[in-house]
Amino acid sequence: MRRNLVVGNWKMKINQQSAQKLVDGLIDGLPSEDADIAVCPPYLYIPEVSQRLANTTIGLGAQNVATHVEGAYTGEIAAVMLKDFNCKYAIVGHSERRANYADTSQTVAQRFQQAIDADIIPVLAIGELLEEREDGTTFDVVEKQLNAVIDFSGIENFKKAVIAYEPVWAIGTGLTASAEQAQEVHLFIRQLLAEKNQQIAENIQILYGGSVKPQNAVALFAMPDIDGALVGGDSLSADSFLKIYSSFQK
């Protein structure tokens, strides 16, 4: 049985004070659920959030990770550095990184591998643009993005990875893929993996991301191939994020 997981991506939408308040709110309000939960603060706040989350069941993640293990890479943060602060997860290939910071299939695959090498679980984000959905090429895009990482890193490494399907047109827009639209792509992703390794396909957590809210989480999580969510905007409120976390069917 796959465990469910919700991951909060705080992006660059928080400051030190609001991060402290948010973490305290999550710790105080955390219901006991049979599911996993994690937050991804901006890099700078990771040490402090890591301390606050010690001895809790809330996991810590980063929003990105460097393509190399060490070296002359000004401004980058290596996976081993994240590991020093108990990061369990690192998001790789978020569409905002692909669109605004020139992340390519190659660099996303390198980041994925760096996370794996440091014993961090990569949360590989993939998903189509609005025009790609309208052109009917959603499956092609998702397949290409996924295969780029499988070809580079090997299917075996997906044993220790999470996939987040995030249709770009649904991120931060208030538009959500319907539960059925999301399920269709999640199933497709699982089938692609199954062609390579049946067991990995069955065990891997595939999260949905894109305007997930308490109002739509129940329907999304009821789908057989949706194992949780990568949440942006609604992870910035402890109340909303914990409501999403409590939306799995018992």
One of 68, 94, 96, 186 is an active-site residue; which one? 94
User: Minimum distance from CB of 232 to ligand PGA (Å)?
Assistant: 2
Binding window for ligand PGA (CB under 6 A); candidates: 47-55, 133-141, 193-201, 226-234 = 226-234
233 contacts ligand PGA (rule: CB under 6 A): yes
- Here the contacts of 218-224 (C-beta below 8 Å, separation 24 or greater) are 218/247, 218/249, 219/179, 220/176, 220/179, 220/182, 221/4, 221/247, 221/248, 221/249, 222/179, 222/249, 223/179, 223/180, 223/182, 223/183, 223/186, 224/183, 224/187
Question: Does 9 help bind ligand PGA (rule: CB under 6 A)?
Answer: yes
Which residue intervals of the chain are DSSP H helices? 16-29, 46-53, 79-84, 95-100, 105-117, 130-134, 138-153, 179-196, 198-203, 214-221, 238-245
Shortest Cβ distance from residue 156 to ligand PGA (Å)? Answer: 26
186 is known as an active-site residue: no
Which pair of tokens denotes residue 220?
């999304």
**Judged by CB under 6 A, does residue 29 bind ligand PGA?**
no
**Residue 41 or 209: which CB sits closer to ligand PGA?**
209
Is 94 a residue of the active site? yes
Minimum distance from CB of 1 to ligand PGA (Å)? Answer: 25
Nearer to ligand PGA, 200 or 242 (CB): 242
Q: Find residue 231's DSSP bridge partners.
A: 8
Using CB under 6 A as the binding rule, the residues of this chain from 195 to 214 that contact ligand PGA are 209-212
Residues forming beta bridges with residue 4, ordered by sequence position: 35
| Nearer residue to ligand PGA within complex by CB, 36 or 234 | 234
Residues that bind ligand PGA (CB under 6 A): 9, 166, 171-172, 209-212, 230-234
Residues classed as catalytic: 94, 166
